[in-house]
Chain A
Amino acid sequence: MRIEKHPILEVRRPEPFAFFFQERELLGYPGETIASALFANGIRIFGRHHKDGSPQGIFCANGQCAQCLVLANGRPVKACMTLVEPGMHVAPIDGLPQPPHPPGHLEFREIEEVETEVLVIGGGPAGMSAALELGKLGVKTLLVDDKHRLGGKLLLQTHRFFGSREAVFAGTRGIVIAQKLASEVQAQKSVEVWLNSPALAVFSDKKVGVLKEGRRYVLVRPKVLVVATGARERSLLFPGNTLPGVYGAGAFQTLVNRDLVRPAEKLFVVGGGNVGLIAAYHALQAGIEVVGLCEALPECTGYKVHKDKLLRLGVPIYTSHTVLAAHGKEHVEAITIAQVDEHFRPIQGTEKTFACDTILIAVGLDPVDEFYRKAREFGIPAFAAGDAQEIAEASAAIFTGRIAGRKAAQALGYAVEIPPAWEKTAEILKSKAGKIHAVPKPPAGLAVFPVIHCAQEIPCNPCSSMCPLGLIEVPKEDIRLPPRFVPKRECAGCGRCVAFCPGLAITLVDFRKDLEYPVVTVPWEFEPPPVGTEVFLVDREGADLGRAKVLEVAHIPGADHTALLRLSVPKDLALKVAGIRVKKRVLPEVPKEVGPIPDEAIVCRCERVRAGEIRALIRQGVRDLNEIKAVTRAGMGACGGKTCRNLILRLFREEGVPLEEVTDFVSRPLFMEVPLGIFAGMEEP
């Protein structure tokens, strides 16, 4: 289904056109991927695996796995990376595809070679920032990205950025930052950008193979390489883990936020890091019911403000819980979770099953650093930036990108410096959620003042930068410390701190009009309730506080879609109110059958290799991933071990094998599959 109305994103679609799936006529829009177009038309099963007939759909929606393979006009393509075209005939791949018939006339062209001073792989926050630094210095730079638009994961980030406002646009939404950076990059004279141009391999003869604009193979000879290829999502082992409906959180955000498709009605999120917490919030904004979120650790690892936002909206969060199974024949119909003990083993009798049609896996990210490692091995000067260097927030990626850009320039002999403050800022921005302090009590006796519900150490300061009177202080030297309201002067009650806090963790209490029923201003990023309606008040962590009337829905200029709701609240509750609730709680159903961590869970999606097969080999003494690959084919599939490697390592850990005894996969090109004819220089292979 398509999203027709969104509280943050503008829904503007060009004229649709017809395309076909299994001869059924469907509507698609220019610029949307086949995967999104199929989802928008309610099709979630794209084909069946040639080995066991299991239903296949999307998993990563990012060109990394190969779950979404379909036939487009007779040729196998990844549905998540290929744009739908008018009149296109899309068909599921059931079994192995027939090799397409060749053109009548064979014409081979020489492979073009291109020289550049710097090649930047990846046009997300890190890559764009690096290119921008290089552009400012006039360094001849080529930026390649595998998507059709610059921005990388920023294009999925409809939330406001944390971090420092001065350094990384904090308080601005990722999608807006993407546009800003993209237009700045495109304005640089010395920077050339190739979109829809995935890098395929870094070779020992110091060339980088790039599939230019999806159809021409070009060898790029850079003097310096900047690798800003981002991250890939980790997967999990449980029965039903490859059912259509189990997606990476990033995949889900791609569909919802980039392509404005609603791929789910009822969602369960596995993982309480920032990715999972934010994805759940995005789902709510897209009108999707979030049935719950579970996190195996005793506390969510993401920012508390993100967690609190969900709690206030009534999403149950189950910490110390893990997923046991996804249920469903052809598609996810339910999930079972269970509480875990201190060794992360499920505790019998604590199983809970929820009906849902979609499960998001948000259990962490791994750097996509293959090109970086190859470049280092082959002696190409290379710098990694963003998640490819270290997994952190996009704000940190902007900074590490800048640093990598400057380092690349230095490697070329340009006399530029990297200000020591940059390194420090990058380190601060990379930091994970830290200590939770006590929430400071607002000073008594004031007529109007902000209440800060944010007490955790996170790198963020827009509240302080946005206060026109400078009354909110975050130490400049370390923006991780929580903000404090310091009433050096009288607060004007403008509400800018409320509107610009990325964590929606500031409210404003105003006694000026009514001492008994002060006006409390809360931020709101959904369709605003009409003035005069009664809403349910909640405290910081979502506990009910009763009802209140909406007095006014205000908008502050520049506060991009965050509304301010002014509520009339009894004075004894005024300091406690942190938000309002829209959603009722979901009660778990009676659990279905569950078992211990099961041999039938799929480890290698591409080749459908199950945990049991690999576990048996480990128990026989196998310690080489390459041997596992030789025997089972795990890692031999389309993705080349990108998805299963971690899961196999996890099985080793579970079997008590120290990882130093385990030999890793040998990494080989290509990064993704490309028709042979492309390498022969054919126009239409």
Chain B
Amino acid sequence: MSYDIVVIGAGSVGTPAAFYLAREGLKVLVIDRLPSPGQGSNKAAIGGVRATHSDPAKIRLGLRTIEILSRFSEEFGHDVEWRPGGYVFVAYRPEEEKTLRELVHLQRSFGLNIRWCDADELLRIVPDLNPKDLRGGTYSPDDGHCSPLLLCHAYYELAKKAGAEFHFSEEVLAIEVRAGRVTAVRTDKGRYPTKLVLNAAGAWAAKIGKLLGLDHPVYPDCHEAGITEPVAHFLDPMIVDIRPGPGSANCYFHQLATGQIAFCITPDPPILGEDRRETSVFLPQVAKRIIQVVPRLSGIRVRRTWRGLYPMTPDGLPMVGWMEGVHGYLVAIGLCGQGVMLGPAVGELLARLVTEKLQPGDGLVLENLSPNRSFQAQEVLR
């Protein structure tokens, strides 16, 4: 049995890609070593979706994802709990005020709907913010959040309906190449002739690259997250605090459509590697940080914590496009923890790339996110 394309990874990126590719009439096989969709890092995501980045390529992808999500239920009949509650970046010190104000300037120049709010205005948007020392913050009302699990599963259902096949609990052992061209994918369970392979293996993308002798600069970095019991709705936007703290670079949290608060920190220094076992460090660290920002969180009970992997690249930008050196080898890797918020738009883009139906503007994205770039720049706000 041969396929037009074999997608490696049924997560935040591979699953939407499979759908959009299958919808274009391609015969798609998705292979994942885990037993069901989204079991790698998708299920560890907390679901924030924003276009308010500082790189034009990511901004474009973010805007498109928001467009897709806001029409998802109506277009595809799946409720993925999309809530356009916006994002608020808070500033409690002059340093963060300065960074955020500069960023707003840049982001507005890209046409993003984001503005600086002083403390009073911000408190009207989020009445439960800690007013003490609050200087203000940015508010981008078009951003929002969805359920990563439901989104991934919806794409899985849609992809199957569009004809894509999924093989779970199957491990890719080799990508066969003849005369510089992909010819087949071999797994522990079979061999699948194909001319195209998409590496969407997330945190494990570098291992897939190694099968071809390629060195993808994608390394997993571990973040811990938690969720509370559900409470009555009291918080609209995702709150981000970019103040550094002991052991953490920032923290962010939001209230899900189902009422729970999901929260996360970015460890600093980063915790590299694939270890996802729970540690005793996370809860005391994150609890102080987020209660400081919204004191009302203190009485809400934590239900569970977990760790997930951010597939990082040296410059914080994803790698999307054809890889030089092997014909037919496509990557959508190194999403740097933003697979959910970029995955749908990346999936569409990949389908256009493969079917040669690129649109104006795609060129800029593919150039900025080229997997063959030199990785020297750094994004201002990741």
Contacts and interface: CB of A to CB of B under 8 A. Distances in A.
Contact of A663 (B36, B38, B292, B306): B36
Given A630-B43, A680-B287, A675 B280 contact: no
A207 interface: yes
Interface string A646-676: 0000000000000000010010111001111
16 contacts: A102-B291, A102-B296, A111-B284, A203-B277, A209-B283, A622-B36, A624-B35, A630-B152, A638-B229, A640-B304, A669-B304, A675-B299, A675-B302, A677-B291, A678-B287, A681-B284
A397 B36 CA distance: 39
A96 interface: yes
Contact of B298 (A76, A630, A668, A677): A677
Given A378-B277, A676-B301, 12 more contacts: A76-B229, A97-B232, A98-B232, A100-B296, A102-B298, A106-B291, A627-B37, A630-B36, A640-B303, A668-B305, A676-B228, A676-B297
A623 interface: yes
Nearest to B290: A676
B284 A623 contact: no
B270 interface: no
A681 B303 CA distance: 17
A435 B297 CA distance: 58
Contact of B300 (A99, A219, A633): A99
A679 interface: yes
B213 to A, nearest CB: 33
Interface range on chain A (Cβ under 8 Å from partner):
35 or more
Contacts of A630: 36, 38, 43, 149-150, 152-153
A626 interface: yes
A643 to B, nearest CB: 15
Contacts of A627: 35-39, 153
Interface string B202-236: 00000000000000000000000000111111100
B377 interface: no
A50 B301 contact: no
A378 B280 CA distance: 12
Contacts of A638: 229, 303
Interface in A553-593: none
Interface of A: 50, 75-76, 95-103, 106, 108, 111, 201, 203-205, 207, 209, 217, 219, 377-378, 622-624, 626-627, 630-631, 633, 638, 640, 663, 666, 668-670, 673-682, 685
Nearest to B259: A96
Contact of B230 (A50, A666, A670): A50
Contact of A676 (B38, B230, B287): B287
Nearest to B305: A669
B306 A668 contact: yes
A191 to B, nearest CB: 24
Nearest to B154: A631
A209 B259 CA distance: 26
B376 interface: no
B281 A205 contact: yes
The 6 A-B residue pairs with the shortest CB-CB distance in the complex, in nearest-first order: A677-B298, A100-B299, A204-B277, A627-B36, A624-B36, A673-B301
Given A50-B230, A99-B231, A668-B306, A680 B284 contact: yes
Interface string B266-295: 000000000101111101101110111001
Nearest to B169: A663
A537 B229 CA distance: 56
A398 B30 CA distance: 53
B232 A108 contact: no
Nearest to A69: B229
A97 B231 contact: yes
Interface string B294-336: 0111111111111000000000000000000000000000000
B302 A679 contact: yes
A96 B258 CA distance: 10
Contacts of B296: 99-102
Nearest to B294: A102
A154 B5 CA distance: 63
B67 to A, nearest CB: 24
Contacts of B287: 676-680
Contact of B280 (A106, A203, A673): A203
A674 B301 contact: yes
Nearest to B283: A679
A586 to B, nearest CB: 42
A71 to B, nearest CB: 11
B299 A75 contact: yes
A204 B150 contact: no
B298 A675 contact: yes
Contacts of B303: 638, 640, 670, 673
Contact of A668 (B37, B230, B288, B304): B304
A622 B130 CA distance: 45
A99 B232 contact: yes
A209 B292 CA distance: 22
Contact of B278 (A75, A95, A669): A669
A378 B341 CA distance: 33
Contacts of A673: 228-229, 301-303
